Amino acid sequence: AQGLTPHKGLFEWNTRGDDALIAQLLKEMELSELAEKPFSVLSGGEKQRAYLARALLQKPQLLIMDEPTNHLDIHFQLEVLRKVKALPVTVFASFHDLNLAAAFCDEIIVLNHGKLCAQGSPEDVLKEDLISEVYRTCCVVDRHPLYDHPRVSFAFQYGVHR
């Protein structure tokens, strides 16, 4: 319920509606069974989902997320990003995983040492030459076979270049 603190008066308690919203968000983030546990004993992924639930509790118009999938297994990476994508808010998020960015972002901004290198749709931005320059690695950009968004594959062997 800490997410409501900025919206409450000094001695104002949660309403039934607040409690219902909290329960709904805990269920959506698959945290209901952990609601009584201290935050300190949660795993990294559970903490990440709890932070997102707390942010959503405030009903923001803008959500800024730094590596929202950090510490999450693949299932929860996809679930959290699906939930965030469906929100009726503007979301700014940083990603190091270009494939997640390609799958879930409408627009991508690529920075290199703080300088803007590219901005636009995943199709316009995720180009082999740009990725090679910015990330100093060889890659292939093709289309995801199921969803048709750009897919980046990196050359993991030292010295392999196209």
pLDDT digits (tens, 9 = 90+) for 48-80: 889 888 888 888 899 999 999 988 899 989 988
CB 105 within 8 A of CB 122: yes
Work out the percent of the chain whose per-residue pLDDT is above 70. 88
* Arithmetic mean of pLDDT, 109-115: 96
C-alpha closest to that of 3 among 45, 63, 43: 63
What is the Cα 89 distance to its own chain's centre?
13
Both tokens of 107, joined, read 């627009």
Distance CA 35, CA 39 (A): 9
Residue 37: what pLDDT? 93
Domain ranges of the chain: 106-162
Whole-number Å distance between alpha carbons of 97 and 84: 16
Q: Are 50 and 76 in contact (CB under 8 A)?
A: no
Ramachandran area for residue 159 (φ above 0: left; ψ -120 to 50: alpha; else beta): left
What DSSP letter does each residue of the chain carry, written as one string? -GGGGGGS-TTPPPPHHHHHHHHHHHHHTT-GGGTTS-GGGS-HHHHHHHHHHHHHHT--SEEEEESTTTT--HHHHHHHHHHHHHSSSEEEEE-S-HHHHHHH-SSEEEEETTEEEEEE-HHHH--HHHHHHHH-S-EEEEE-TTT-SEEEEE--STT---
Judged against a pLDDT cut of 80, whether residue 160 lies above it is answered with no
When pLDDT is cut at 50, 70 and 90, the band that residue 158 belongs to is low
